[in-house]
Amino acid sequence: MPVESSKLLDGKGLAQKIQGELTAQIQTLQAEIRRPPGLAVLMVGDNPASAAYVRNKERACERLGIASFGHHFPAEVTFDEVKQTIHDLNDNPQVDGILVQLPLPSHLDSTALLYEIDPDKDVDGLHPLNLGRLVRGESGLRSCTPAGVMRLLAAYEVELSGKHAVVIGRSILVGKPVSLMLLAANTTVTMAHSRTPDLAAVTRTADVLVAAVGKPGLITADMVKPGAVVVDVGISRQEVEGKARLVGDVDFASVQPQCSLITPVPGGVGPMTVSMLLENTVWSYRQRHKGSYNS
């Protein structure tokens, strides 16, 4: 059945629009601040998926006029070497955002490294201080994928207040922060996870269903309330007829006809994540400039 475009939450199109707006903002701000915004992406080893994500981020920076301060370390780099680089970037006034591309090789403690990033440059929003600000409802850098989900829902004017949201997945990267953001938007939130018995009984009650699991085809039509809004955060690589394809957690073909809005994979949440990273970098650029005015 052909997909009606009116039913798609088009993250790709929205992400492009946001990046266009950011480009214009950077041009205006740069005239005043007299330097471009700067983003440092730290990568360790040669994980091909991570390398592709990093390339993608660096290309987006180039398009928008954000300076890249990337570091690519060999897989055997020590914790102290990465930590020292983070400290140097914390002290570098040209750098507004720092992110460590995950996953890291097992000998590096990613949580401990996250603590080393200056929270005001933590454009991935994963530093405990920024997660604490999210819990408290204070402004601060928000993690990119959950922020991208919320922006997409807002752009399509999805009514959230008083609705029931079900989030599947409880990771610190996606499930927990997106649940807090949905709660802040006045939905009643249920969090489901790998130990939830009868997942379908829970998901069928959702007005807004967010799947962040990483299991292709987990969500089938019988698990979705008619008219629900479905956001598929999952990304898995699958071989289909000898070709690698990206697929989400939702069985798109069966679910799409009965929901009111749905994100495609690819082209849904993925591109929004990159745009939120760029937006966070520009936000930090502006905040740090304002800060220097105040000091």
**Which residue numbers are catalytic?**
57, 101, 124
Taking the complex as a whole, how short is the minimal distance between the CB of residue 20 and ligand NAD, in angstroms?
A: 20
Taking the complex as a whole, how short is the minimal distance between the CB of residue 215 and ligand NAD, in angstroms?
A: 6
Q: Does 276 bind ligand NAD (CB under 6 A)?
A: no
Count of chain residues binding ligand NAD (CB under 6 A): 24
Q: Does 203 bind ligand NAD (CB under 6 A)?
A: no
Q: Does 143 bind ligand NAD (CB under 6 A)?
A: no
- Pick the stretch among 103-111, 119-127, 191-199, 280-288 that binds ligand NAD (CB under 6 A): 191-199
Distance CA(273)–CA(116), nearest Å, equals: 23
Distance CA(25)–CA(175), nearest Å, equals: 31
Closest residue by Cα to residue 135 from 181, 168, 169: 181
Beta carbons of 246 and 281 less than 8 angstroms apart: no
Taking the complex as a whole, how short is the minimal distance between the CB of residue 193 and ligand NAD, in angstroms?
A: 3
3-state helix, strand, coil in the chain (%, to 5): 45, 15, 35
Phi/psi for 287 (5° steps) reads -60, -45
Taking the complex as a whole, how short is the minimal distance between the CB of residue 243 and ligand NAD, in angstroms?
A: 19
The C-alpha angle with vertex 263 and arms to 210 and 40, in degrees rounded to 5, equals 85
Position among 215, 254, 258, 260 found at the interface with ligand NAD (CB under 6 A): 215
Phi/psi for 264 (5° steps) reads -80, 160
Distance CA(57)–CA(270), nearest Å, equals: 12
Position among 64, 86, 233, 247 found at the interface with ligand NAD (CB under 6 A): 233
Q: What residues line the site for ligand NAD (CB under 6 A)?
A: 145, 168-171, 173-175, 192-194, 196, 199, 212-215, 233-236, 269-270, 273
